[in-house]
Chains A and B, each alone.
Chain A
Amino acid sequence: MNFKKPNTILKAKNLSIGYKTKKGEAVISQNINFELEKGQLIGLVGANGIGKSTLLRTLIKVQPALSGTVLLNDTDLKTISSLDLAKQLSIVLTEALTSKNLSVYELIALGRHPYTNWVGSLTSKDIEIVENAFKLVNISELRNKKCYELSDGQLQKVMIARALAQDTDIIILDEPTTHLDMYHKAYILKLLQKLTKETGKTILFSSHEIDLAIQLCDTMIVMQKENVVYDQPCNLISQGVFESLFPDDLISFDNTSGIFRVKK
């Protein structure tokens, strides 16, 4: 019996996440189920400390799942070699780069590592893909800049281009909009939406910009204390999911406009 949708890229089945400690397991969230489809933009939202980063870390295989399975292109994440994983899944993290003394071109070209030879030489095909990443994110003018010369918004675009150069089915971004102003938050998320349409890649990102995510995402994963809901934004609104997302003493969710308002 296989109910798998034909376009599923990443699937979580009865996933339970958290940390193994000496005394046992510290479960952060459990019973997580979703199927991410090809070409979709998926937003992962939830309150601080609810486990968004832990979920993403589990999906990118930085930490193991406590139980349940993650299937990437129908293969159990546990059995995928790190090199094969690098060709299917790329990431953009919040952690700072160890060295910013690389040119933008060098940094983006690092995305070709899973495909290059032992010393990392770029073939003409690699160069073509890197050039395409520049075009897609529209940052050709930054090419020869050093990473320490970039603003936060520019650096985020460069990191997205690097993930694109890795040429994977799915890109996972951990809070790509932090440290950005309102314009650049919208810009980055709009860019991600454009990329899913133009490249057919699946993009999953976590964010606190719930109103922007509602407007731009195809589907959303909403993490709450009791359960994790996965659906289209309009369905989530009609189910009243967002209203129960935060304690109701300060802010409330307006169903008609789809944004949070501060209570007067």
Chain B
Amino acid sequence: MHKSQTYQFQYALLVVILIAFFFINISLGSVNIPLRSIIGSLFGNIDNTTWDVIITNYRLPKAITSILVGSGLGVSGLLMQTLFRNPLAGPFVLGITSGASLGVALIILGSGLFGGFFATALISKWSIVIAASLGSFLVLLAVLAVSHKVRDTMAILIIGLMFGSITAAVVSVLSYFSSAEQLQQYVFWGFGSLSNLSWKELGIFFLIYLVGMILSIMSIKSLNSLLLGENYAKSLGINLKQSRFIIILATSLIAGTITAFAGPIAFIGLAIPHLTRQIFKTSNHKILLPAVFLFGAITMLICDSIAQVPGSDYTLPINAITALIGAPVVIWLLVRQRKIMF
């Protein structure tokens, strides 16, 4: 907002880092492919067809997924923290992820209960996506309805956690009646995965993500006025009900689809906005939103690169890596700055 305070240099630096990690991410994997061939493949001239297939059908979609997941979770976390006036808020804490998990659990684990026809019809990738999105949207609506009644933000967070407990309970009941195969499918979904997305799936993912991002960008103004408090925001002519709905819709679209396609990925949504605020030292969403976007994407690319365990055939669950790498960084930042920026 301040004329003399632009962040072009920081943004440019982040974009360069993002591009660098994008290429590093693509260059890593169980098959060693030289950088020249990677660039050649991206621009459509490569002699080695095996390498070409690996890059265009496996590594490139995965790197793009990482960027979408990281930036999306970061932005939705930022939206939630401002809307609920709470630095602890995030898609995970508020139960959005639990809602998605519940939807997926009902589809994967519950399909046995619905009988043979549904079992085959339901467990397609799309039904999982739809179930996860619906689940997260419904939980968010419930949290929002409660937040209308309860002014205490701590209470709202506890209610979000309660939704998490209910989900866990339903999942364990469903697990009891499920086959080992179904259980394994659900557990693997829970690990989170950035790979296995075809270009077609990535296209749908991107479309929904894009709608959510556009809604988020449209909310920048109301988010900034919410920094003053709800009554001030109202006095500035902000339609609170409408802005709230748009912010929640954007979050559930982004966080819901991410959870649907990549599984419940923890930590990023909570931590990235904090990291960004500590580094950029502002709460102005016009500055924060693009920064959170870039930081989230970079972090996710780094985490995914590590998850592949360079030089080996193993791929670790991405969900574990995000927290293992990220949590110490946040702790270190908070200890160094001695206070939280919000």
- Chain A interfacial positions (CB closer than 8 Å to B): 60, 62, 82-87, 89-91, 93, 95-99, 101-103, 105-107, 109-111, 113-114, 116, 118-120, 122, 127, 144, 146, 166
Q: How many residues of B contact A (CB 8 A)?
A: 32
B39 CB to nearest chain A CB (Å): 36
Whether B284 contacts A62 by the Cβ 8 Å rule is no
Beyond known contacts A93-B232, A101-B281, A113-B237: 13 more, CB 8 A cutoff: A60-B231, A82-B237, A91-B231, A95-B231, A106-B1, A110-B224, A110-B228, A110-B236, A114-B236, A118-B218, A119-B217, A120-B1, A166-B236
Residues of A close to B224: CB separation below 8 A? 110, 113, 120
Most buried by B among A60, A89, A110: A110
CB of B3 within 8 A of CB of A89, answer no
**Cβ–Cβ < 8 Å partners of A120 in chain B:** 1, 220-221, 224, 286
Residues of A within 8 A of B234 (CB): 62, 82
Using known A-B contacts A86-B237, A97-B229, A127-B3, determine if residue A113 contacts B282 with beta carbons closer than 8 Å. Answer: no
Pairwise interchain contact B2-A98, C-beta atoms closer than 8 A: no
Distance in Å from the Cβ of A65 to the closest Cβ of chain B? Answer: 17
Residue of B nearest to A115 (CB): B237
In the complex formed, the residue of A with least CB distance to B230 is A98
Can you name 11 A-B pairs with beta carbons within 8 Å?
A: A60-B231, A83-B237, A90-B235, A97-B229, A98-B82, A98-B226, A98-B229, A99-B82, A107-B228, A120-B286, A144-B2
Contact status B229-A96, CB under 8 Å: yes
A119 and B231 in contact, given A102-B284, A113-B237 (Cβ under 8 angstroms) = no
Q: Could you tell me the distance between the alpha carbons of A166 and B234 in the complex, rounded to whole angstroms?
A: 13
Q: Is the CB of A97 within 8 A of B3?
A: no
Q: Mark B1-27, 1 if CB is under 8 A from A, else 0.
A: 111010000000000000000000000
- A125 CB to nearest chain B CB (Å): 14
Contact between A101 and B277 (Cβ–Cβ < 8 Å)? yes
Residues of A within 8 A of B342 (CB): 99, 101
Q: Give min CB distance, A55 to chain B, whole Å.
A: 15
What CA separation (Å) do A116 and B237 show in the bound complex? 11
**For A89, what are the chain B residues with a Cβ–Cβ distance below 8 Å?**
235
Q: Chain A residues with Cβ under 8 A from B5's Cβ? A: 103
Query: In the bound complex, how far is the Cα of B224 from the Cα of A89, in angstroms?
Result: 19
B33 CB-CB contact with A under 8 Å: no
The interface residues of chain B, by DSSP majority, are classed as loop
CB distance from B163 to the nearest CB of A (A): 24
> Which of the listed residues A103, A119, A120 has the most CB atoms from chain B within 10 Å of its own CB?
A120
Give which listed residue, B228, B235, B281, B341, contacts A97 with CB less than 8 A.
Answer: B228
On whether the beta carbons of A82 and B286 are closer than 8 Å, the reply is no
In the complex, A257 Cα to B82 Cα: how many Å? 50
The residue from A91, A98, A99 contacting B235, defined by CB atoms under 8 A apart: A91
Does residue B65 face the partner (Cβ distance < 8 Å to A)? no
Which of B2, B5, B235, B341 counts the most A-chain CB atoms under 10 A from its CB?
B235
In the complex, the chain B residue whose C-beta lies closest to that of A107 is B228
Contact present for B2 and A114 (CB under 8 Å): no
- CB-CB under 8 A from B3, the residues of chain A are 122, 127
A-chain residues with CB within 8 Å of residue B221 when the two chains form the complex: 113, 116, 118-120
Query: Is B76's beta carbon under 8 Å from chain A?
Result: no
Check if A98 sits within 8 Å of B227, measured CB to CB.
yes
Known: A105-B2, A106-B1, A113-B225. A99 touches B231 (CB 8 A): no
B-chain residues with CB within 8 Å of residue A116 when the two chains form the complex: 221
Known: A62-B234, A89-B235. A119 touches B1 (CB 8 A): no
B122 within 8 A of A: no
Q: Would you call A119 and B286 a contact (CB within 8 A)?
A: yes
Closest 4 A/B residue pairs (Cβ): A86-B237, A83-B237, A101-B283, A99-B227
Alpha-carbon separation in the docked complex, A87 to B286 (Å): 23
B30 touches A (CB below 8 Å): no
Q: Which residues of A contact B231 (CB under 8 A)?
A: 60, 62, 91, 93, 95
Our pick among B217, B228, B281, B286 for the contact of A98 (Cβ within 8 Å) is B228
Cβ of B96 to closest chain A Cβ, rounded Å: 21
Against A, the Cβ 8 Å flags (1 = close, 0 = not) of B220-253 are: 1100111111011011111100000000000000
**Is B1's CB under 8 angstroms from A105's CB?**
yes
Contacts of B286 in A (CB 8 A): 119-120
CB–CB A91/B284 < 8 A: no
B window 186-245: CB within 8 A of A: 217-218, 220-221, 224-229, 231-232, 234-239
A85 to B237, CA, bound (A): 7
- How far is it, in angstroms, between the C-alpha of A84 and the C-alpha of B237 when the chains are bound? 7
Which of A95, A110, A122 is B225 in contact with, Cβ under 8 Å?
A110
Q: Complex: how many Å from CA A127 to CA B2?
A: 9
Bound state CA distance, A110 and B232, in angstroms?
10
A114 to B236, CA, bound (A): 6
B residues in contact with A101, CB < 8 Å: 277, 281-283, 341-342
How far is A95 from B85 in the complex, measured between Cα atoms in Å?
14
Q: Give the Cβ gap from B276 to chain A, nearest Cβ, in Å.
A: 12
Best-buried of B2, B225, B282 by chain A (most CB within 10 Å): B2
Most buried by A among B224, B239, B277: B224
User: Which of A82, A98, A103 has the most C-beta atoms of chain B within 10 angstroms of its own C-beta?
Assistant: A98
Nearest Cβ in chain B — how far from A178, in angstroms? 16
Q: How far is the CA of A85 from the CA of B286 in the complex (A)?
A: 25
| B172 to A: closest C-beta gap in Å | 38
